[in-house]
Structure 1
Amino acid sequence: MKKLLLTLTLLFSFSGFAQTINGIPIQDLDVEYLQIIGTSVYMSSKVKVSIDIGQRTKLMSSNNDTARLKDKNGEVLVFNSIIDALNFMAAYGYEFIHSNIVAEGGENVYYYLMKKKAK
């Protein structure tokens, strides 16, 4: 009985997650490749992560939230590190392909290419 309750609890907790990119649930993304873009948060150990799936972005916007991962309440997800973000996307069926680090405006920006795993 305890195993059944634990299994049901886990199933409901996972189905309750509704992380989205650009308003689309991650599990419903119809893209083979995506890019994780990570920048450090000033005076914090956290990382600001955005996801490029080829969506349109506002040209002159410096704070474009459409590419940010959001939870079921529409709040932006904050990751402890870029590895935290990589593990998060791996849990949704994406695998790491390539990375690149670029110095932009005095800070490092981390680019990670991910590919959806073959079924």
Structure 2
Amino acid sequence: MKKFLLMGIILSSSLISNAQSDTTKVEQYCQLIMTPRLLSNKVTIDLDFGIEKSFWSDTRVKTDALTLKKFNTIIDALNYMGKAGWMFINAYPVKTSQTEIYHFAFKKQFLKSELQ
């Protein structure tokens, strides 16, 4: 009986030790879009993670409590992205007839298992 119990413990521990986690890292990109607010020196920030959005979806930044995150300046938004672990890549303005909209590209490495 002791031999069977010992054999069962050895087999079960070998099965558990074979479990490995995937540590492959994948780069993901996002784009921060800054639009100035009308009659204000504050800005509206939208994040584009490459996910299809509908007319009804809200892409503005929200806090952990899901309240709308408001930024006073673009530097405030850039600091927020840096604290979240995103690395700045590039920035470029898109000029319309009324205003300039600024686009900021970021990248971050995630574990492959985090994205699934």
**CA shift at 1:73, angstroms?**
3.8
Equivalent position of 1:112 in the other structure: 104
Does the 8 Å contact 1:38/1:82 carry over to 2? yes
TM, length-normalised to structure 1: 0.63
**CA shift at 1:115, angstroms?**
1.1
Which stretches in structure 2 are left out of the alignment for 5+ residues? 1-25, 112-116
Does the 8 Å contact 2:28/2:110 carry over to 1? no
Residues 65-107 of structure 1 show CA distances to partners (whole Å, capped at 9, x for unaligned) of 1x11112343221111111111101001111110010112411
Aligned ranges 1:90-101 → 2 under 5 Å? 90-101=82-93
Aligned ranges 1:24-103 → 2 under 5 Å? 32-58=28-54, 61=55, 64-65=57-58, 67-103=59-95
Name the amino acid aligned to 1:36: L
Name the amino acid aligned to 2:87: E
TM, length-normalised to structure 2: 0.65
Q: Which has the higher contact order (CA 8 A, sep 6+)?
A: 2
Give the share of equivalent positions with the same residue, in percent: 33
Number of aligned positions between the proteins: 86
**CA shift at 1:57, angstroms?**
1.3
Provide the C-alpha distance between the structure 2 equivalents of 1:92 and 1:112, rounded to a whole number of angstroms.
Answer: 15
Does the 8 Å contact 2:27/2:109 carry over to 1? no
Which stretches in structure 1 are left out of the alignment for 5+ residues? 1-29
**CA shift at 1:118, angstroms?**
8.3
**CA shift at 1:64, angstroms?**
4.6
